[in-house]
Amino acid sequence: MGLRIREATLWDCQRIVGIYLSNSPWKDSPYETYLQVGPWGLEETCAIHLNNLKLSGGIALVAELDGKVAGEAEVFMSEEVWDGELVKTAHLSVIEVARWYQGKGIGRALVEHVIELASDEDCDLITVTPEKKAVGFYRKLGFDRTVYHGVIADISTDAGKNAPTPASFIPTWDDLRGVPLSLGQFQSSYNHWFTEFVDRVADVDGRVHFESGSIEGGFYVLEGSFFDRRTATAYFWGENGLEGLKRLAALARRRGFKTLRTSLSRKLVSGRLEFGITPLDEVRILAKSL
């Protein structure tokens, strides 16, 4: 039968879970599995995730090799701000190949299929956030442009002063379209909006602090960590990332957090900051023009 790529359905959930668990086995409990693997680690949460994805315009694909599901990929198509311009973009947010099918060209076939889909939808750009070991793989497929280069870092909230008084608010994508994601960028802006506001499982996501709203200059998310109650992750949509960082550090301090974790552009890090940061890792988003 060879290799075939098709759109995933809810009936594929059991096989999709098998793909992810082949690379990151089941943990001690469903809760631990969800934290380590994400919604793809359990059939129930995978079904919720795929349903949310489809209702939000995302596309999930599965690769079948000789009739057996061997890999999965997910893509979002939206208008994104890159280098100050609004560009119709396809973002490859997830790609996973079962351990026993790796090295058979399945990942490449999935990426090439996504490129075709993006071209058919008249996207101007396709983007991906690769693992470091996969950068060469994507370069060979034409992802030769870096549209975002950032630093994932911890910032002590001790320096946070003059906390803002935010207005509680849950933004729609229309509220955020055209607004740059200045803090917390790791995937596309639409991908982050989907993850933070749509793709949530109450029994898990409700266990940590979560708030969103508007402050002067933009929109924010402040989310507690499952692994360290003293740390909050921050996202900020707005033109002035430095000002957003100052305000969110102060707000996190008011909420009782000791550390603010986020990603900052290399340009922002190279400027003058009023507080020190502890770099943890780098993040690069690569792009291929269509």
Domain boundaries, the chain: 3-128, 149-289
Do the domains 3-128 and 149-289 sit in the same CATH topology, yes or no? yes
What pLDDT score was predicted for residue 274?
A: 64
Question: Residue 273 has what pLDDT?
Answer: 62
CATH number for the domain formed by residue range(s) 149-289: 3.40.630
Quick check: 143 and 287 in contact, CB under 8 A? yes
CA distance 208 to 90: 31
Q: What is the pTM of this model?
A: 0.94
For tokens 């280098």, name the residue. 83
Q: What is the predicted pLDDT for the residue at 229? A: 93
Q: What is the DSSP string of 211-246?
A: EEEEETTEEEEEEE-SS-TTEEEEEEEES-HHHHHH
User: Could you read off the pLDDT tens digit of each residue along the chain, which spans 290 residues?
Assistant: 589 999 999 999 999 999 999 998 877 889 999 999 999 999 999 999 999 999 999 999 999 999 999 999 999 999 999 989 999 999 999 999 999 999 999 999 999 999 999 999 999 999 999 999 999 999 999 999 999 999 999 999 987 788 888 999 999 999 999 999 999 999 999 999 999 999 999 888 989 999 999 998 899 999 999 999 999 999 999 999 888 998 999 999 999 999 999 999 887 776 656 667 888 999 999 999 99
Q: Measure the CA–CA gap between 102 and 267, rounded to whole angstroms.
A: 37
CATH topology of domain 3-128: Aminopeptidase (3.40.630)
What are the CA-CA distances from residue 213 to residues 57, 58, 205, 206, 220 (Å)?
A: 24, 25, 18, 17, 6
Which pLDDT belongs to residue 271? Answer: 60
Contacts of 138 (CB under 8 A, 6+ apart): 111, 128, 130, 286
Q: What is the pLDDT of residue 217?
A: 86
CB proximity list for 139: less than 8 A, separation 6 or greater: 286
